[in-house]
């Protein structure tokens, strides 16, 4: 198998779009440098020109002025079809063709590019596996027989199929429910760890931006850049009132979106399988020294929390015993997701799962609280340092003024 292509740098120079009949340009002289392998998220109020800016990068919308360079090559005037092979594109409600199977949808660009059949077949399998869908189960289904989240995964698989160095995503998770959205975001982060594409992502949702971005571009009207910086910098030192307004309240809590489950302590936990006889479950719980044990299904996925009392009441069968696991998180989930899951499940901990939903450990409430305290302390320290720095910088001027006086 060929090495996957990594990201390419993107440069936008004085990029402008004036729609026919509009008095003002919708995108006005945008200059932006995006590094190879970086995830940049565009956020800003509705109508500020995010989608127009994004769609000019693959020339779905033709610029009225300015240049676009990908890996140094000026692509402003090249054949758009050739350009689109370099640039994958995924959109909200995924844009799958309803009369084509999942495999045919994913194979679209490789087929246009003239890949041999066998290579396409292998690539479809590889892509389905990459986005966490079992090829045997999903290859021949039609899009209408998929959930919203599954459709979105196929949309991402299709965008990545021809292995483009650049991936553009226009509110790709806008139409799915919040839990599925969290999982899709986690998967995108995992994928990006493996693939290192250059991703330009548009969203309305500032929390989504914080979670996904290496750098965020906050845009105001006509795609004027209000701030282009890391999520940390935007949260802790917004450039002006417009950006602060966009960050909104609770910046400290939003910082929870910046730390991932894999960065805090994931610990082991006693587990048993649904196939274990009741006596084995009882013995394991007794020897574990905990009050609770996690029951896994046949595929090793978290299924139910079982307490000692549940076992006593079980009367020979575990069918009705215990509390079903409602929510799990992956290693790429944010602390905020984890905190939410802990509060939802009401067990003081959340199960962490791997790529196929299999159990890999737990994160407990204490670990989460310690991390929150550490983050808040770090913020306070930073604010204090910034303030001291400010006072020091001001001091000489004040003395000089005093002397002058
Ligand atoms: N085809 C078009 N013809 C004329 N004006 C357009 C066209 N498409 C977009 N616009 C205008 O250009 C501006 C920017 O639109 P764009 O869709 O890029 O904004 P956006 O920031 O992505 O908005 P949203 O967040 O609501 O999707 C808006 O004022 C919009 O009305």
- Categorize the per-residue pLDDT at 248 as very low, low, confident or very high, splitting at 50, 70 and 90: confident
- Categorize the per-residue pLDDT at 28 as very low, low, confident or very high, splitting at 50, 70 and 90: very high
Residue nearest to atom 1 of ligand 1 (CA): 19
Decide if 362 contacts 349 (C-beta within 8 A): yes
What per-residue confidence (pLDDT) applies to 392?
A: 62
- Residue 336 predicted with pLDDT over 50: yes
What per-residue confidence (pLDDT) applies to 394?
A: 56
- Residue 224 predicted with pLDDT over 90: yes
Average pLDDT of 314-332? 84
- Residue 384 predicted with pLDDT over 90: no
Q: Which of residues 180 and 125 earns the better pLDDT score?
A: 125
Q: How many angstroms does the Cα of residue 292 sit away from the middle of ligand 1?
A: 54
Of the candidate ranges 26-35, 53-62, 162-171, 308-317, the one whose mean pLDDT is the lowest: 308-317
Closest CA to 363 of 348, 377, 374, 378: 348
What per-residue confidence (pLDDT) applies to 379?
A: 67
- Residue 67 predicted with pLDDT over 60: yes
Q: Which atom of ligand 1 is nearest the CA belonging to 49?
A: 18
| Terminal-to-terminal C-alpha distance of the chain | 76
- Residue 395 predicted with pLDDT over 60: no
Of the candidate ranges 57-61, 199-203, 254-258, the one whose mean pLDDT is the lowest: 254-258
What per-residue confidence (pLDDT) applies to 122?
A: 93
Q: How many angstroms does the Cα of residue 48 sit away from the middle of ligand 1?
A: 7
- Between the alpha carbon of residue 331 and those of residues 20, 35, 99, 362, the distances in Å are 48, 26, 36, 10
Would you identify the CATH topology of the domain 10-248?
A: Rossmann fold (3.40.50)
Query: Which residues of the chain form CATH 3.10.580.10?
Result: 263-367
- Categorize the per-residue pLDDT at 244 as very low, low, confident or very high, splitting at 50, 70 and 90: confident
Q: Which of residues 104 and 263 earns the better pLDDT score?
A: 104
- Categorize the per-residue pLDDT at 182 as very low, low, confident or very high, splitting at 50, 70 and 90: confident
55 lines ligand 1 (CB under 6 A): no
Decide if 202 contacts 54 (C-beta within 8 A): yes
What per-residue confidence (pLDDT) applies to 391?
A: 60
- How do residues 81-130 score in pLDDT, each as one tens digit? 788 778 888 877 667 888 999 999 999 888 888 889 999 999 999 889 88
What per-residue confidence (pLDDT) applies to 289?
A: 82
- Residue 390 predicted with pLDDT over 60: no
CATH architecture of 263-367: Roll (3.10)
What per-residue confidence (pLDDT) applies to 246?
A: 79
223 lines ligand 1 (CB under 6 A): no
What per-residue confidence (pLDDT) applies to 405?
A: 43
49 lines ligand 1 (CB under 6 A): yes
Residue nearest to atom 2 of ligand 1 (CA): 19
What per-residue confidence (pLDDT) applies to 89?
A: 83
Q: Which of residues 241 and 379 earns the better pLDDT score?
A: 241
Q: How many angstroms does the Cα of residue 399 sit away from the middle of ligand 1?
A: 52
Alpha helices in 292-334 (DSSP H): 308-313
- Residue 231 predicted with pLDDT over 50: yes
Decide if 274 contacts 318 (C-beta within 8 A): yes
Alpha helices in 63-216 (DSSP H): 80-86, 102-106, 108-112, 117-130, 135-138, 148-160, 178-195, 206-212
Q: How many angstroms does the Cα of residue 23 sit away from the middle of ligand 1?
A: 14
Contacts of 283 (CB under 8 A, 6+ apart): none
Report phi then psi at 393, rounded to 5: -65, -30
Query: Which residues of the chain form CATH 3.40.50.300?
Result: 10-248
- Categorize the per-residue pLDDT at 388 as very low, low, confident or very high, splitting at 50, 70 and 90: low
- Residue 1 predicted with pLDDT over 50: no
Q: Which of 82-96, 211-225, 259-273 tops mean pLDDT?
A: 211-225
- How do residues 345-363 score in pLDDT, each as one tens digit? 777 899 999 988 899 999 9
Of the candidate ranges 101-105, 205-209, 382-386, the one whose mean pLDDT is the lowest: 382-386
Average pLDDT of 264-277? 90
Of the candidate ranges 26-30, 53-57, 394-398, the one whose mean pLDDT is the lowest: 394-398
Q: What is the ipTM of this complex?
A: 0.96
Three-class secondary structure of residue 56 per DSSP: helix
Average pLDDT of 6-10? 89
Q: Which atom of ligand 1 is nearest the CA belonging to 21?
A: 4
- Residue 185 predicted with pLDDT over 90: no
């Amino acid at each position: 198998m060929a090495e996957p292509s990594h990201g390419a740098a993107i440069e936008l120079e004085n990029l402008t779009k004036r729609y026919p009949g509009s008095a003002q340009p919708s995108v006005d002289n945008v200059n932006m440098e995006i590094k190879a392998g970086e995830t940049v998220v565009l956020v800003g109020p509705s109508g500020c020109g995010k989608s127009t800016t994004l769609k000019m990068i693959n020339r779905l919308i033709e610029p009225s002025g300015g240049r676009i360079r990908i890996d140094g090559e000026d692509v402003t005037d090249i054949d758009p079809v050739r350009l689109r092979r370099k640039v994958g594109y995924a959109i909200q409600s995924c844009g799958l063709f309803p009369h084509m199977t999942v495999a045919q949808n994913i194979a679209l660009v490789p087929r246009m590019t003239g890949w041999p059949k066998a290579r396409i077949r292998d690539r479809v399998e590889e892509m389905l596996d990459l986005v966490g869908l079992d090829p045997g189960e999903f290859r021949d289904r039609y899009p209408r027989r998929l959930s919203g989240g599954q459709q979105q995964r196929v949309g991402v698989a299709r965008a990545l199929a021809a292995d483009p160095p650049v991936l553009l995503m226009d509110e790709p998770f806008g139409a799915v429910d919040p839990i599925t959205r969290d999982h899709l975001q986690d998967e995108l982060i995992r994928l990006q760890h493996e693939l290192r594409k250059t991703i330009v992502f548009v969203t309305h949702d500032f929390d989504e931006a914080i979670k996904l971005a290496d750098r965020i571009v906050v845009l105001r009207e006509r795609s004027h850049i209000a701030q282009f910086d890391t999520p940390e910098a935007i949260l802790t030192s917004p450039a002006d009132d417009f950006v602060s307004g966009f960050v909104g309240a609770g910046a400290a809590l939003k910082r929870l979106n910046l730390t991932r489950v894999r960065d805090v302590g994931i610990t082991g936990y006693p587990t048993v399988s649904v196939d274990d006889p009741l006596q084995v479950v009882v013995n394991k719980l007794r020897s574990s020294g905990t009050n609770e044990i996690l029951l896994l299904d046949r595929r090793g996925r978290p299924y139910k929390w079982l307490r000692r009392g549940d076992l006593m009441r079980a009367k020979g069968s575990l069918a009705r015993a215990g509390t079903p696991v409602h929510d799990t998180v992956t290693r790429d989930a944010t602390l905020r997701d984890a905190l939410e899951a802990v509060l939802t499940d009401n067990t003081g901990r959340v199960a962490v799962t791997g790529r196929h939903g299999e159990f890999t450990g737990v994160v407990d409430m204490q670990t989460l609280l310690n991390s929150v305290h550490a983050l808040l302390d770090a913020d306070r320290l930073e604010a204090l340092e910034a303030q001291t720095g400010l006072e020091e910088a001001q001091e000489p001027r004040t003395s000089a003024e005093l002397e002058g006086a």
